[in-house]
Amino acid sequence: MPGTPTDHLANERTFLAWVRTALTIIGLGFVVAKFGIFLRELATGSAGTSSPLSEVVGVFLVLAGSALVAIAYYRFSTVREDLKVGKYDPHMAMELATTVVLVAIGVALATYLLFTG
C-alpha cells in the first residue's frame, strides 16, 4: 500500500525541520568563527584576527551544517521512494549521529569557554 498524502507531507515537514537545524548550525559556526574578532576589537579597540581555534570550530560547524542539509535531502528522497512503493523502514542513524556530534561540539565549546575565560 503506497503512502498517503499525509505521509508525504510529514516527510516534507521532517526535511524542513532538518534544514532549519542545519541553518542554525551554520549560523552558530559563523558566530563562533567571528566571535574572536569581536572580542579582540572590544579589548584592543582595533580590528584584529580571530583566534585560530574559534575559526577552526566555526568552519567545522559551517561544514557540518552544510553536510547535514545534503544528508537530510538524501534521507527525504529515500523515504519518499519508500512511501511510493508502500514500504518504510525507519532508521535512527541520522538522529544518533547528529546527537553525538552536537553533544561533542557543546562539550568542546563549554570546555573552551571554561579554560579561556
Q: How many domains does the chain have?
A: 1
Per-residue pLDDT of the chain (117 residues; tens, 9 = 90+): 788 899 999 999 999 999 999 999 999 989 888 876 666 666 666 555 556 777 888 888 899 999 999 999 999 999 999 999 988 888 888 889 888 988 988 888 788 778 876
Q: Report the distance separating Cα 80 and Cα 77, nearest Å.
A: 5
Handedness of CA 76, 82, 83, 88 (dihedral sign): negative
Write out the residue range of the structural domain in which residue 112 sits. 5-116
- The DSSP line for 34-76 is HHHHHHHHHHHSS--PPPHHHHHHHHHHHHHHHHHHHHHHHHH
CB 94 within 8 A of CB 71: yes
How much is the pTM?
Answer: 0.74
Q: What length is written for the chain?
A: 117
